[in-house]
Every structure is written in C-alpha cells, then in structure tokens.
Amino acid sequence: MQESNSSNSPSLSHINAKGEASMVDVTRKSVTQRAAVATGKVMMSKATFDLIVSGGHAKGDVLAVARIAGIQAAKKCADLIPLCHPLMLSKVQVDFEPDESQSQINVRALCKLAGKTGVEMEALTAVSVACLTLFDMCKAADPEMVISDIKVQSKTGGKTGHWIREQGTVNNGASAC
C-alpha cells in the first residue's frame, strides 16, 4: 500500500510509535494518476425492493438522491475520517445495480485523482453514504434492512501499482478503472 512505512512488517497507518494518531506525511510523494473502486449493498425485504424498483426501473428520484449523496460524501471524506488527507477528486461515479433475486441494491463507486494519496477511502465513503441514503428513504417501510459487504475492489496508481481484490464474493472490477 502506498502509505505503509518502509519496514517489512505491516503496521497501522496514521499511528506513530507511541500509539498516537498522526497523519501520514505525504509531502514528498509524487503525484500520480490514481483510481479506486469500492462496492457494497443494501439488503431489504422483497416488498421494499419492489417499492424502489418497479418494472425494472427505479421509481422517480430514489436512486438519484442516493447517487448524489454518495458523490458529495466522497468530497467530504477528509472531513469525516480524521486522518485522511484533503485531496481534489477529479472524478466520482456512483452506480446502482438492483438485484431482484437477492432483493438487494448493489452499490459501486469509482473515484479518481491525480495526487499523492490513494482514493480508496473516498470510494468507500461514497458507497457507505449512498447505502445510508437508500436506507433513509426506505426505513419507514422496512426498518430491518442491512448494509453489508462494503469493500475495496481495485485500486491503481501509487507505489503498489494495480491492485485487484482476490476471488470470493468479488466481482473483480478489472475493467473498472
């Protein structure tokens, strides 16, 4: 990962030798093109799923609201996560894939920038807040919804080059960025 220290053993980001929080120093890192894709999902009852998606199309503004919330949250990442560096995203995209068989909405976010730090936290934040926003609009109908499987699918740029999540439940995102 581009923000690890230089020792061989993995360690915590943003935590110094005394166990204190301290934003990683990226002053001398070079600017490279970076991208990250994260995914997650909101699981709901069949009735709630049908409220959002009918006849194969989402009703009105529902997904639009969640999409905007996700995009705006990506821009607020450094304000929400204490040790994230402020950065200037050059692209944010949030997509939804309603999965009728599982009665869930899959959420995917892509973030890009030309900068010194990776953007996976921005992508994860976009997914999280898009999921929360879907929850907010459906909570009267279905308070038992669950938000799950929020994770990074791929990232490019920086020291580590192109990283893709391995197998499992992953849809690998190879073409994503």
- Which residues are part of a known binding site for substrate? 83-85, 121-122
Q: Shortest gap between Cβ of 142 and a second copy (angstroms)?
A: 5
* Residue 90 touching a second copy (CB under 8 A): yes
Active site residue 136: yes
Q: What angle do CA 127, 19, 88 make, to 5 degrees?
A: 35
Please, what's the largest Cα pairwise distance for the chain?
Answer: 57
Q: Mind spelling out the 3-state secondary structure of 34-46?
A: EEEEEEEEEECCH
Q: Measured from the CB of residue 51, what is the shortest distance to a second copy in angstroms?
A: 6
Residues from 143 through 172 that contact a second copy (CB under 8 A): 143-152, 155, 163, 165-166, 169-172
Q: Give whichever of 21 and 100 is closer to a second copy, judged by the CB atom.
A: 21
CA neighbor of 126 nearest in space, from 174, 175, 66: 66
Regarding 12 and contact with a second copy (CB under 8 A), the answer is yes
**Exposure letters 20-55 (e unless 16+ CB within 10 A, then b):** eeeebeeeeeeebebbbbbbbbbbbeeebbebbbee
Residue 56, interface with a second copy (CB under 8 A)?
A: no
Residues between 98 and 137 that touch a second copy (CB under 8 A): 112-114, 116, 120-121, 124-125, 128-129, 131-133, 135-137
Number of residues that bind a second copy (CB under 8 A): 107
Q: What is the spatial distance between Cα 165 and Cα 118, in angstroms, rounded to a whole number?
A: 15
Cβ atoms 37, 108 nearer than 8 A:
yes
Minimum Å gap between C-beta 70 and a second copy is 10
Q: Which of 37, 71, 105, 109 binds a second copy (CB under 8 A)?
A: 71
Smallest gap from Cβ 140 to a second copy, in A, equals: 4
Q: Hey, what amino acid is at 101?
A: S
Known catalytic residues are: 136
